[in-house]
């Protein structure tokens, strides 16, 4: 079974056990969708090859929103292969964004904060390119959960990290990047945001046993682990910060 199908299969099973549960990706997308307006200018920071912009942006949106999305990523190949062909894009790192100050109403970043070696510089740049009252929406692993802890332990051995991610999550080595986990707790994100002039609106921990569910037995064990772990150690963080 392909990796994406496996995770979706076990997410459906978990949702059946916990009515009302929603995976972090769906929560993230719902927050972003609710904030969009016809005049919104949105920056997808670390856009990769696709993602949320495919559903809400140039190929999934309507009206003026189709011309107001922009993607930034340091990996040129990802930008060249991006599936939303109408997306404006630039190859750049998050510490020095190629935009004028106060350009965007919304900045979104998914699966990016965990890779930042100098997150304070990134948060400062996000605040600079964001208009007053603008929003940052993020989705990232929670460093207090055992899985990111294990990932951090092997991060210094990048080839080993690539092999593990490829073996268990079906991701190619070209899409496996080193992790730092320096902006991956509510406390760290709130502190970094405050220094940049971004105040928390909402940050939520989200459980998801599908990351450990490689078969029925590991799924059961993962569900039990989720029940035993305190809420502050759930695997994902979904949040919204706003510029003062």
Q: What average pLDDT does this structure show over 176-190?
A: 90
pTM: 0.87
Helix, strand, coil: what percent of the chain each, to 5?
Answer: 45, 20, 35
Question: Could you tell me the pLDDT band of residue 60, with boundaries at 50, 70 and 90?
Answer: very low
Distance in angstroms (rounded) separating the CA atoms of residues 38 and 61: 10
Per-chain mean pLDDT for the chain: 87
* Alpha-carbon distance values, 102 to 127, 139, 228 (Å): 8, 22, 44
Residue 63 predicted with pLDDT over 80: no
CB burial string 25-42: b at 16+ within 10 A, e below? bebbbebbeebbeeebbb
Question: Could you tell me the pLDDT band of residue 213, with boundaries at 50, 70 and 90?
Answer: confident
Residue 233: exposure state from Cβ atoms within 10 A (0-12, 13-18, ≥19): middle
Closest CA to 169 of 12, 15, 2: 2
Q: Which residue has the tokens 């450990």?
A: 212
Dihedral, CA atoms, 11, 14, 15, 21, nearest 10 degrees?
-90
Q: In 3-state terms, what secondary structure has residue 138?
A: strand
Residue 218 predicted with pLDDT over 50: yes
Q: What pLDDT does residue 161 have?
A: 46
Residue 167 predicted with pLDDT over 90: no
Q: What pLDDT does residue 85 have?
A: 84
pLDDT tens track for 67-125: 489 999 999 999 999 999 889 999 999 999 999 999 999 999 999 999 999 999 999 99
- β-pairing, 130-141 vs 198-206, is unpaired
Residue 61 predicted with pLDDT over 50: no
* Alpha-carbon distance values, 61 to 36, 54, 55, 56, 87 (Å): 10, 9, 7, 5, 12
pLDDT tens track for 125-166: 999 999 999 999 999 999 999 887 676 666 555 554 444 444
Please give the residue that has the higher pLDDT: either 192 or 54: 192
As a whole number of Å, the end-to-end CA separation of the chain is 47
Residue 214 predicted with pLDDT over 90: no
pLDDT tens track for 13-36: 999 999 999 999 999 999 999 999
Q: Is 29:55 a contact under the CB 8 Å cutoff? A: yes
């Amino acid at each position: 079974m392909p990796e994406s199908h496996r995770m979706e299969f076990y997410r459906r099973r978990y949702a059946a056990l916990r009515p009302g549960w929603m995976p972090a990706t769906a929560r993230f997308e719902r927050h972003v969708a609710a904030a969009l307006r016809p005049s919104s200018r949105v920056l997808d920071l670390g856009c990769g090859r696709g993602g949320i912009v495919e559903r809400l942006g140039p190929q999934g949106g309507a009206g003026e929103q189709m011309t107001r999305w922009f993607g930034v990523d340091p990996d040129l190949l990802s930008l060249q292969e991006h599936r939303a062909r109408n997306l404006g894009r630039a190859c750049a790192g998050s510490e020095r964004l190629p935009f004028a100050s106060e350009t965007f109403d919304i900045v979104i970043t998914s699966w990016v904060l965990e890779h930042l070696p100098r997150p304070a510089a990134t948060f400062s740049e996000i605040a600079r390119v964001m208009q007053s009252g603008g929003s940052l929406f993020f989705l990232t692993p929670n460093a207090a959960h055992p899985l990111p802890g294990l990932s951090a332990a092997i991060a210094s051995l990048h080839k080993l990290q690539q092999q593990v991610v490829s073996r268990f999550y079906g991701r190619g080595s070209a899409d496996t990047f080193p992790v730092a986990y320096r902006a991956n707790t509510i406390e760290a994100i709130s502190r970094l945001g405050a220094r940049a002039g971004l105040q928390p609106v909402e940050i939520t921990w989200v459980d998801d046993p599908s990351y450990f569910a490689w078969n029925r037995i590991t799924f059961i064990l993962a569900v039990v682990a989720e029940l035993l772990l305190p809420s502050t150690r759930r695997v994902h963080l979904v949040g919204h910060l706003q510029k003062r």
